[in-house]
């Protein structure tokens, strides 16, 4: 996180009311619209809207503001000014600290919902005291929140950047840089080489670390790299990648929005080539 975040010692609900409460319905966050922006509703506004969160997770503190998060199974008719929004739509509209903690909350709420029962014995999982974990009330099996590491890489060849299109955006010709999940036993650099070889048939050199981004939408940690084309001709796999080509900075196709590290890598190429 780009703002200082102090996580709570455990996720059990706090005895006192939080300064900020993030309410999710599925993958959408409840916000109050303020012109072109949005803010988190105050507790009294949630009460007036008929929302009574049950057992919110304690998240932590940013700038002396305490945060909790909860998921609701149904939402009543919301009064004017309150609405449910996906996090992508709130990028740039919500306060930076609130936006970052919202991503954290969404991942944790999904993790709790997906682990109501122990995978070892089938017992009930409960929030652990003094630890950011879930523990089985029967066999004491303990689970911690997990993330899936993935690489994302900008491949350059002189003044050209490789961009590829997958089938994940039906009806759109959205191009982006190459990305993929790390397999067991791989280093991050091994993953860079394998994903590039599998998806577009190229070899690369001079792999350099660029930066990282927590990506709450898939529970991933995106680790960004740059690399240079070292050989081979573009050959798409036809499954994950449908189309790929080299592009110059003045001839870019439709690309991802500024919320993603993919766009940061593309912007790096535009600024430096």
pLDDT tens-digit readout, 31-40: 999 888 999 9
How distant, in Å, are the alpha carbons of 68, 116, 146, 193, 212 from that of 187?
35, 32, 18, 10, 15
pLDDT band at 2 (very low <50, low <70, confident <90, very high): low
Instruction: Tell me: pLDDT of 1 over 60.
Output: no
Residue 179 burial (C-beta neighbours within 10 Å; 0-12, 13-18, 19+):
buried
Q: What is the pLDDT of residue 46?
A: 86
Beta bridge partners of 156: 161, 228
What is the average pLDDT across 6-17? 87
- Tell me, what DSSP letter sits at residue 75? -
Q: What is the pLDDT of residue 169?
A: 66
| Candidate from 2-6, 116-120, 141-145, 262-266 with smallest mean pLDDT | 2-6
Beta bridge partners of 89: none
What is the average pLDDT across 227-253? 95
Instruction: Tell me: pLDDT of 167 over 80.
Output: no
Instruction: Tell me: pLDDT of 233 over 90.
Output: yes
| Euclidean distance between CA atoms 9 and 144, whole angstroms | 13
Q: Which two tokens stand for residue 116?
A: 């109501």
Instruction: Tell me: pLDDT of 170 over 70.
Output: no
How distant, in Å, are the alpha carbons of 21, 177, 236 from that of 263?
30, 9, 22
Instruction: Tell me: pLDDT of 17 over 70.
Output: yes
| Euclidean distance between CA atoms 199 and 185, whole angstroms | 20
What is the average pLDDT across 148-161? 97
Q: Which residues contact 45 (CB under 8 A, 6 or more apart)?
A: 32, 82
- pTM beyond 0.85: yes
Span 117-153, pLDDT tens digits: 999 999 999 999 999 999 999 999 999 999 999 999 9
Instruction: Tell me: pLDDT of 15 over 80.
Output: no
Taking alpha carbons only, the member of 158, 151, 249 closest to residue 207 is: 151
Residue that the structure tokens 């439709």 belong to: 254
Taking alpha carbons only, the member of 98, 132, 127, 114 closest to residue 29 is: 98
Domains and CATH numbers, the chain: 5-114 (3.90.79), 115-145 (no CATH), 148-272 (3.90.79.10)
């Amino acid at each position: 996180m780009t703002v200082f975040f102090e996580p709570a010692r455990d996720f059990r609900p706090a005895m006192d009311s939080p300064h900020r409460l993030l309410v999710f319905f599925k993958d959408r966050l409840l916000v109050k619209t303020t012109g072109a922006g949005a803010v988190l509703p105050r507790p009294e506004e949630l009460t007036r809207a008929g929302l009574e969160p049950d057992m919110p997770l304690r998240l932590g503190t940013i700038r002396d503001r305490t945060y909790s998060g909860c998921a609701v199974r149904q939402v009543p008719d919301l009064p004017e000014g309150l609405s449910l929004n996906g996090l992508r739509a709130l990028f740039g509209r919500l306060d930076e600290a609130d936006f970052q903690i919202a991503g954290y909350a969404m991942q944790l709420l999904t993790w709790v919902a997906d682990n109501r029962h122990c995978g070892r014995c089938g017992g009930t999982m409960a929030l652990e005291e003094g630890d950011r974990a879930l523990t089985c009330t029967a066999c004491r099996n303990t689970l911690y929140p997990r993330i899936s590491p993935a690489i994302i890489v900008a491949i350059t060849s002189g003044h050209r950047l490789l961009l590829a299109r997958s089938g994940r955006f039906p009806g759109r010709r959205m191009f982006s840089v190459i990305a993929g999940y790390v397999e067991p036993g791989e280093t991050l650099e091994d993953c860079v080489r394998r994903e590039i070889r599998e998806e577009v048939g190229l070899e690369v050199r001079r792999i350099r670390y660029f930066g990282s981004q927590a990506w709450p939408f898939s529970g991933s940690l995106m680790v960004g790299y740059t690399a240079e084309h070292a050989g081979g001709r573009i050959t798409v796999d036809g499954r994950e990648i449908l189309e790929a080509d080299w592009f110059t900075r003045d001839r870019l196709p439709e690309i991802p929005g500024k919320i993603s590290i993919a766009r940061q890598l593309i912007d790096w190429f535009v600024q430096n080539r």
